[in-house]
């Protein structure tokens, strides 16, 4: 239906001006699905040691978060694009930025068995800000904190 026809007949009407509740309800429901709340989740997983492999894993973890109706934020996929992790001042700046990003997130997901120094700092910040902290295996199975 073109814009002129819509304006003439209004929402919920077909191109001839007759009520079309089935199509109208379907379109209205599509819009509702787009407006579902999606919590922002901070992806906390190792980066150093194997940046390429760990970045690949972080992309996978982020995809899983999207599939579970979350908005993932994985700083180790973004910050290495313009900050050098092996330069102490830039690493310090990146960790500061991580704290700011973490403050904006609803939850933090700690992924994997290995907890790096950077991850420990992020967990400390999350606890200080009383963030929801969830622990996952590398296969994205949720586990209790005691298991980590």
In a domain, 147, yes or no: no
The reply to whether 12 falls in a domain is: yes
The whole model's pTM is what?
0.75
**Total structural domains within the chain:** 2
Could you tell me the CATH number of the domain that includes residue 114? 3.40.50.450
Claim to verify: residue 44 and residue 25 sit in the same structural domain: no
Q: Are strands 107-111 and 40-44 parallel, antiparallel or unpaired?
A: parallel
| Same-domain pairing of 19 and 47 | no
Position 115 confidence tier, pLDDT thresholds 50, 70, 90: very high
Query: pLDDT at position 145, please?
Result: 74
HSE of 96 in the Cβ direction (CA atoms, 13 Å)?
7
Q: Is the sign of the CA dihedral 81, 87, 88, 89 positive or negative?
A: negative
Residue 107 lies in a domain: yes
Residue 145: inside a domain, yes or no? no
pLDDT of residue 85: 87
Question: Are 46 and 119 within one domain?
Answer: yes
Mean pLDDT of the chain: 86
Do 70 and 28 share a structural domain? no
* Per-residue model confidence (pLDDT) at position 36: 81
Indicate whether 73 and 28 sit together in one domain: no
Return d(Cα 113, Cα 48) in angstroms, integer. Answer: 15
**Does 48 lie in the same domain as 28?**
no
User: Are 59 and 86 members of one domain?
Assistant: yes
Residue 47 belongs to domain spanning = 40-139
Q: Within 13 Å and on the Cβ side, how many CA atoms surround 35?
A: 5
**Residue 61 counted as domain residue:** yes
pLDDT at 61: 97
Quick one: 30 and 44 in the same domain? no
Element (H, E) at 6: helix 3-9
């Amino acid at each position: 239906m073109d814009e002129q026809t819509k304006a003439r007949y209004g929402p919920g009407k077909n191109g001839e001006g007759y009520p079309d509740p089935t199509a109208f309800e379907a379109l209205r429901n599509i819009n509702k699905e787009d407006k579902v709340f999606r919590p922002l989740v901070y992806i906390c997983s190792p980066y150093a040691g194997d940046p390429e492999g760990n970045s690949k894993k972080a992309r996978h973890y982020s995809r899983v978060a999207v599939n579970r109706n979350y908005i993932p934020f994985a700083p180790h996929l973004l910050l290495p694009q313009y900050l050098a992790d092996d330069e102490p001042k830039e690493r310090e700046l990146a960790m500061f930025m991580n704290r700011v990003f973490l403050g904006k997130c609803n939850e933090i997901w700690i992924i994997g068995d290995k907890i790096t120094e950077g991850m420990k700092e992020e967990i400390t910040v999350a606890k200080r800000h009383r963030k929801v902290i969830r622990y996952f295996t590398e296969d994205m199975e949720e586990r209790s904190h005691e298991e980590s």
